[in-house]
Chains A and B, each alone.
Chain A
Amino acid sequence: MSTVSEPLVSGSSRSLSSAKRHKSIRKNSRRIFSTYHNQQGPSDDEDKEDERVDSNDPEEMFQNIQYQKEIIANIRSRPWPMKRKLKVLKQAREIVLRYEGRLTRTRGYQTAGADLLIKLSRLLYNIVVLFIPWEVRIKKIESHFGSGVASYFIFLRWLFGINIVLTIMTGAFIVLPELLAGAAFGTTRSKTIPREHLASAQDLDTIWSLGGYLQYSVLFYGYYGSVRKIGSAGYRLPLAYFLVGMAVFAYSFIILLRKMAKNSRLSLASTSDENFTFCWRVFCAWDYLIGNPEAAESKGAAIVNNIREAIVEEQEKKKDTSLAVLISLRIIANILVLLSLAGSIYIIYFVVDRSQKLEQEKPELSLWEKNEVSVVVSLITMIAPSAFELVAQLEQYHPRTSLRFQLARVLVLYLGNLYSLIIALLDKVNSMSSAVPVNPGNWSESSSFLATISQPEPDSLSTLVSDISFPEHHNSTTATVAAVTHLSNSSRPSSGFNQTSLFEKTTRSQQDQCWETYVGQEMLKLSIIDMIFTVASILLIDFIRGLVVRYLSDCCCWDLESKFPEYGEFKIAENVLHLIYNQGMIWMGAFFSPCLPAFNVLKLIGLMYLRSWAVLTCNVPHQQVFRASRSNNFYLAMLLFMLFLCMLPTIFAIVRYRPSQHCGPFSGQEKIYDIISDTVASDFPLWFSKVMSYITSPVVVLPALLLLFMLIYYLQAIARSLKFTNTQLRMQLQTERTEDKKKVVQLAAARLQGPEAAADPKPDLQESDITSQEASIHTPSPRQNGSATTFQSPVSHGTSIRTITQSVSRAELSRGSVTGSFRCPAVTVLPKHRLEHIPNRPPPFLGGPSGTCRSKSYHHIRHNAPGHSPDNIHSDPLYRRTARSARPIEHAGIIPAQSCGGRRSHATRYIIINEHEPRKKLLRSATRIPRHYLMEEPAEILELYPRNMKRYTHRTAHHQSHHSHRAYLSQQYLSEDEEDEQGGKGRGRMTSTKAHRPHSLSDLHQSAHFYIGDQEESHALRAQNVGEEDGEGEMDSEDLELASRSKSSVKGTEPVVVRIRHHVHSPGRDGQSPARIRHMESYVKTKTRTKLETPLTESDSASLASSSDQQNSSTDQYIQVIHNKERYFKSDASQENMAKRKSKASFDRNVTESNDLVCSNV
């Protein structure tokens, strides 16, 4: 029992405080309301109630203004029809204007400025959109082939954008300055074609292999001069070259990471388990912008495609196959893949090695021999993926996983290719730059070896012998170093120095072999060949095949279109990877060949058109196209991986090898990056270099690194914890939802058990539960009073009831009850009784009164409905109720008065539980303890009725006004609170109901009746709910209710109600029930006052015997008063009475009285 009672107590106390709060608020609003009431038509007042500002309170006024402003600012984002918005806006504006006239001007400027800004940005946006390349083309492809294929093109476009930026960077900072201000072609040795090559410099063959004029052009590293400053402005080209080379990587990294972060932000919002593929494909599928019927058609096709795709995917998930075979197959497949990977790597290395040897051995290389490397690499990149795909069919993975595998393998293959190529190249570079012998003893030998290579070259410029010596001394011991450096130092500045012929020859060869240029050449060559192969494969594999399949299918013995050759499929994954691979080459070579990005731009443009053409003309969409949307980070992750891996060799080369001595911007330096330190040392003030040296010293770098690691770790930890809380919250949300659902289901089931399935489920149920429980709690006290020798208790009851009805707040109720208990010693007895009868009851004092209040409220509702509108739907339920209730009544009736406590309690219990049966109870009670019950109930009815009216009016006001969400909410709160206070129904109680429910289950049948009977309430609730979403609906329903209920004009009723409410609240605050009551009475009616007063006086007197008498007398008075207005309800009342089996004079009286009372209030 105690456990049960606790929640109730806490709930009541909570509601108590909230009730107070709201009362004060309401009071304010009331005051405001009343002031405005006079100024404006009554119809609008209700609506505006919540907007009103209490002009006396600047704080409140300010808040209200803020609030109204908020309304104005947010009004457009409310899904209301224009009419309503207009009305609300006008009202809000009016208020703001009234209270804040001077502020509006500045606000006007502000909004004008904001508008302008918005307009400008929109204009800009429109212009930008105009310039997005290939938008139409991509949309077209998208509509034909779905998002997957389009994603390839979008990715291509994005890469194109990156390459544009890279091109601008290299073009503007390296190529253009060199062209404009650098030494002209032919002026320096590094910029002239060697004489022996001059003859063949224009041969197509030479050009093809990027030799001749191309080799000595801005295309490659070797062409750039090493003069520290060029042009009149003193442009530091070498420094720029280095910085741009690094910036290319930096930019790529940043842009990639940013894109990834953006995507992951999008995808984070929908973490793995929240992937609404299907919903998105259906709900977000349609592009409402489409106005062109054709486009709409293709969009429709795309959507169907998409949906089918998703369905297939889903079905794919459900497939099962035997494991053993699968595993062995997969192992085999992986072995095959590994073998082919190793093979391809070996082949590449072999080819590079061979070409190196060939170069050394043969003076003239054939076309094949020259292009061997790139052709082989391209061939492998073309063929291997198909082989992998074949292998993948062995594995029987889910298409998506197989796609992933395929991608991973192809990526590894490409990387292997690039890496083996670059390693082979660097190997060659190594042999070139540090060509020679490790030990000084072999000096002559090595040089002679070089000489043999360069022998065919006739003349030799004697310069730069030192260059050769440099590498050597590098690798040699210090002793030799000294000698050689001396040599080099002397030789370097003097270009016309004469050396031995041996040296001359070696020099020549060395100068030709500018390794950076060589690497650049190779990369560019690879890129070109790759492009050719791509084009060829598109033409051959897709186009020709398409043609053949299309036109030869008639004269062939099998169906070409569906059997063997078919149409080419567009393989997104491979193509994307190919793009990535391509980009990797660019990154790898960009440092050595500044024009590579520019070339890539051209290549991508060509690819875009060719591919899109091929896709549209001769490809069919992949049978199972998987979504790789813009938000997919997969491609980007691969690209990032590629970027990193491609940057490594370049960085390695920059750090590890010394630059060529004859060519390029860094000639003559020990290391490429020396340019930075040189610049810092020579061109910056001294302090700067000092600072730099400090910064780069381990003292700073190490702590900085440490700090970085710590930061990373910290952020990581935060991210982890956030993720954790995120999942926690989600789980909580889920469980809560399921819990709620369960409860609702339980309630519904419980309801079904009851004979009558009420039309309205949740709110009613909960409330009814609460009420029933509370009612049960209540009842004991009356019984006890009755049974207990003390008559006072009834009196106290009556008072408490009245107080409840009036004040509505639990606090008051409790007080009332307390007072009651105070007066009557019998109260102590009550708990015991309760225990016996209804074990679940909460503590008597608080719970009892509140319960009574509620039950009363219910009664009211019922009374109202039948009384006012006989035609109402409610009337039916009422009858039913009455019928049911009859049973218990009889029961009660059978029970003799002797065991007053027990039986009465029973009877009362029933009554309370049934809520609807108050009348019957009344009847019954009238029979047994006539006066008390009668008294109480009529009083309740009286008060309740006004309340209900209030409520309704309140709501209607809500609907009409609809000022804003907030207003809404607040109103709702208010109404809820009101209900709480009134003790009729509170949502706050709903929470408590849960706890109580189990207990109430025993009483379920009766409670069910209640629910049904409570239709009015449910109506109201429903209306409220609906109102939250739809103002109109609410209005309608409420209007209906109002109309049906109120015979007299609604307006007339409203003011009365309001007034009553007003008064009720203020007394509630006072906390003195008698005072309250008196207020109430005075406002309501003189008659009621008299009635109420009598009970009060009784309670005050606190004398047992006298109290009983008084009560009786008071009830009599009551009745009499009521009698005056009996006629109103006679008809309705008579109907009700008919339904009830026991038609006693007293019954009739009571019922009629209640009705009358209600009427009179109106």
Chain B
Amino acid sequence: MGGNTSQLSKENVSEYQELTFLTKQEILLAYKRFSELYEDRRSSLDPRTSRIPLQKMTELPELRSNPFKHRICRVFSTSEVKDGSLSFEDFLDLLSAFSDSATLEIKSHYAFCIFDDDNDGTLNRKDLEKLINHLTSESEDTKLTRNEMEQLINNILEESDIDKDGTVNLSEFQHVISRSPDFVSSFKIVL
């Protein structure tokens, strides 16, 4: 591992520190974890270009049981082919957004992106339904009935859709989220 961590130059680490909410240790740890995941591939690890595929990423114990793991990876992925694979920098971005000290604003922004399933910049009914289905894990006994789902979505829109356009946009979303007492404390992933 030491060899791997040394690949991250001091400069890089301090830059990453500047650009994320992570501490040096966390960055190094993240690098370690990342290179562990990466190890079985042959080419050397470049923080910018080496990518870990979505499948592998979601195997990460911290993400494994997260119902939004696929969305999370896709949101943070900068891959051109949109396959949800993460480079180390993407990974750092992810960890930064989910870190303890990230601001509510950035957390809510990413939360919005994660919930916005079709990436159209608003949460429409489809997005909400998907989101709820993610949460209720889609098994038969826990899944909401059609009626319940309808009502729930209606209620959500009623509460949050200030401009009554039938969707929740980012500012509406942030408005709602910022009032929540425990969003910041629960929107966290720690390695």
Query: Contact residues of A with B, CB < 8 Å?
Result: 72, 75-79, 81-83, 85-86, 89, 115, 118-119, 122, 266, 269-270, 274-280, 282-293, 295-297, 300-301, 303-304, 307-308, 310-311, 314-315, 629-631, 734, 737-738, 740-741, 1029
Contacts and interface: CB of A to CB of B under 8 A. Distances in A.
* Chain B contact surface mostly: helix
B181 A266 contact: yes
B163 A740 contact: yes
Interface stretch (B1-9, B31-39, B51-59, B147-155): B147-155
Contact of B151 (A286, A304, A314): A314
A1029 B98 contact: no
A307 B189 contact: no
Interface in B56-111: 61-62, 64-68, 78, 89-90, 92-93, 96-98, 100-103, 105-106, 109-111
Given A89-B15, A276-B160, A738-B163, A307 B66 contact: no
B186 A286 contact: yes
B135 A300 contact: yes
Given A279-B176, A290-B65, A293-B65, 7 more contacts: A82-B90, A82-B92, A89-B15, A284-B177, A285-B135, A296-B66, A314-B151
A292 B65 contact: yes
A115 B101 CA distance: 12
Contact of A734 (B21, B98, B135, B162): B162
A119 to B, nearest CB: 7
A304 B136 contact: yes
A311 B132 CA distance: 13
B18 interface: yes
Interface in B108-144: 109-111, 113, 115, 121, 128, 131-132, 135-137, 142, 144
Given A76-B21, A296-B66, A311 B152 contact: yes
A270 B179 contact: yes
A81 B93 contact: yes
A304 B135 CA distance: 8
Nearest to B101: A118
A118 B137 CA distance: 38
Contacts of B188: 288-289
Contacts of B137: 297, 300
Interface string B167-184: 000100100111111110
Q: Which of B106, B142, B164 is most buried by chain A, counting CB atoms within 10 A of its CB? A: B142
B155 A283 contact: no
B142 A304 contact: yes
B109 A282 contact: no
Interface string B19-60: 111010000000000000000000000001000000000000
B144 A307 contact: yes
B159 A631 contact: no
Contact of A276 (B97, B105, B159, B164): B159
Contact of B159 (A79, A279, A1029): A279
B187 A288 contact: yes
B159 A278 contact: yes
Nearest to B96: A76
Contact of A737 (B115, B163, B190): B163
Nearest to B178: A269
Q: Which of A76, A297, A311 is most buried by chain B, counting CB atoms within 10 A of its CB? A: A76
A745 B103 CA distance: 35
B67 A300 contact: yes
18 contacts: A75-B18, A76-B18, A79-B110, A82-B90, A89-B15, A119-B23, A274-B179, A278-B155, A282-B152, A283-B173, A288-B66, A288-B186, A293-B64, A300-B135, A303-B135, A307-B144, A308-B144, A1029-B170
Contact of B115 (A115, A283, A311, A315): A283
A78 B18 CA distance: 12
Contact of A72 (B18, B20, B78): B18
B176 A283 contact: yes
Contacts of B160: 276, 279
A274 B135 CA distance: 24
A1029 B189 contact: no
Interface residues of B, number: 70
A296 B132 contact: no
Contacts of B177: 279, 283-284
Nearest to A301: B142
B50 to A, nearest CB: 13
A86 B179 contact: no
Contact of A284 (B110, B113, B165, B186): B186
A498 to B, nearest CB: 72
Contacts of A289: 186, 188-190
Contacts of A296: 65-67
A287 B183 CA distance: 9
Nearest to B21: A76
Nearest to B141: A304
Contacts of B128: 282
A79 B109 contact: yes
B156 A282 contact: yes
A1077 to B, nearest CB: 44
A938 to B, nearest CB: 41
A289 B189 CA distance: 5
A300 B20 contact: no
A276 B96 contact: no
B98 A288 contact: yes
A77 B108 CA distance: 11
Contacts of B170: 1029
Q: Which 3 A-B pairs have the closest CB atoms?
A: A82-B89, A296-B65, A270-B179
B78 A83 contact: yes
Contacts of B136: 300, 303-304, 307
Contacts of A297: 65, 137
A772 B92 CA distance: 50
A611 B66 CA distance: 31
Contact of B106 (A78, A119, A122): A78
A738 B161 CA distance: 11
Nearest to A292: B65
A85 B148 contact: no
Given A279-B176, A300-B135, A304-B136, A737 B162 contact: yes
Contact of B164 (A119, A308, A738): A738
A699 B164 CA distance: 62
A601 B152 CA distance: 43
B135 A81 contact: no
Q: Which of B90, B151, B152, B178 is most buried by chain A, counting CB atoms within 10 A of its CB? A: B152
A300 B48 CA distance: 35
A77 B142 contact: no
Contacts of A278: 152, 155-156, 158-159
A435 to B, nearest CB: 56
A741 B182 CA distance: 32
